[in-house]
A and B are shown apart, each in its own frame.
Chain A
Amino acid sequence: MINFEEELKRFSPIPEVNQAEEAIYHNDLTDISDIVLQMTEELRANEPSLSARTRR
């Protein structure tokens, strides 16, 4: 049976037109390249020899 309260949680307020700018600026979509870059940065910080290896 449908639980009204639980189902209601699916519905959140829709951004209005004047909030569009905010919605665009807070576009925090992360893709594979962001993740790989972050991982590379972390590895380079932990293992300085890695940066030399990738530059060869």
Chain B
Amino acid sequence: MATRRPVLCPNCGAHIRKNGYCTNCNMNYHVLMKAYNTSDYYYNQGYDRAAARDLSGAVASLMVALRYNKKNVPARNLLGLIHYEMGEVVEALRHWVMSVNYQPQTNLASRYLKELKTDPTRLANVDQIAKKFNMALDYIDRGDHDLAILQLKNALSENPHFVKGYLLLALLYIHAGNYEKARVALRRVLRVDKANPVAIHYLREMGTSDENIIHMRQESIEDDGLFEDLMVTVDKDDEELTVRKEEVKRPIFKEIAAKRNESVVRTGEFSQLSLARYSGIYVLLGIVIGIMVLYFAVVPHQRKKMLSENENLIRSYSEELADKNATISAQQAEIDSLNNEIVLMRDKATNTDALPDYSNIKNGMSEEDLDHIMDTE
């Protein structure tokens, strides 16, 4: 008999009771699943719209998908990608970070974030674009529309997919009555986002027919002249080239530097020293200097220290030896005196071992003693 796997709550992961409610969050499982299915439906719709380059429509669908299920990771990732494409990188970052937060493993957003992190110049560029756009809004508030247009053009020349920038630029041109340039800006919007409702609204207000709007999407934007005031024409080897003003600045500075160098008498050719090329020599030099320091500073000190230690050791041994010698000589003297005593004692002993001279005794006896002896015998 096959065992049924327990049904888990998609919201909190706890078990679902038989009545369909979660044991932890009391959420109705069937309601939640319906919401999640609807979210997936809107995600698919958003995906189709994004594939057809209807980015605004895709954003609307994906936002609905997230309203049904904010943990819909593919919807989050795609929404981030669309914002990134439209030049709104901070919005893209927001969705990708949330996506990684909901699903840390095997998430496409991790790769996007990693790629952005490894390219700091890209982030700095994005920051500059955002600053320029915000500055343009400030200029508009102050009534400096020309400066605002200049800032927007600068921002757009750095990111040609920045939809919001084009829309604001188009609005400023419409306000100034320059409808042709407004159309050019809006055409660029439609190249990025084919059904941008704001762009279509502006074009319709300017009297552009729907057919023309459809036709505008296919028109080339290469030579539309939107950034012509940011470009200058320079002669280079009898050839006329159109480059950005900022790019022209660099050769001028180079020329000035070259002229300055020409006035100086050059004694030889100098090239920039590559520190990396000589790293091996530096290491070798370091080792040699280290050995020399060791030989001239550390070794003599160590030798002196060892010599003084040896001298101390010899002195202590000599003192100990002298003490021992004194002890030995004292004991030798004692031995000699004891030997003399022994000789004397031996001599004395040999003298006492000789037989007594009775004659002397007899001679020494008195008459009475002698008589007494004779009587007893």
Contact = CB atoms under 8 A, between A and B. Distances in A.
Interface string A1-38: 11010011011011111111001100101111110110
Contacts, number: 101
B134 A51 contact: no
B70 A31 contact: yes
B189 interface: no
A31 to B, nearest CB: 4
A27 to B, nearest CB: 6
A37 to B, nearest CB: 6
Given A15-B130, A16-B131, A36-B31, A1 B205 contact: yes
Given A11-B164, A11-B167, A17 B94 contact: no
A31 B134 contact: no
The listed residue with most B CB atoms (<10 A of its CB), out of A11, A37, A44, is A11
B127 A2 contact: no
Interface stretch (B21-29, B45-53, B330-338, B360-368): B21-29
Nearest to A43: B26
Given A31-B66, A32-B35, A33-B69, A54 B26 contact: yes
B168 interface: yes
B68 to A, nearest CB: 5
* Binding site secondary structure of chain B: helix
Contact of A54 (B19, B140, B168): B19
Contacts of B11: 33, 37
B171 A7 contact: yes
B94 A24 contact: yes
B40 interface: no
Given A1-B205, A2-B174, A51-B26, A31 B140 contact: no
A43 to B, nearest CB: 10
Contacts of B134: 13-14, 16
Interface of A: 1-2, 4, 7-8, 10-11, 13-20, 23-24, 27, 29-34, 36-37, 40, 44, 51, 54-56
Closest 10 CB pairs of A and B: A32-B35, A31-B70, A17-B127, A15-B90, A13-B134, A14-B130, A54-B21, A16-B130, A4-B175, A2-B205
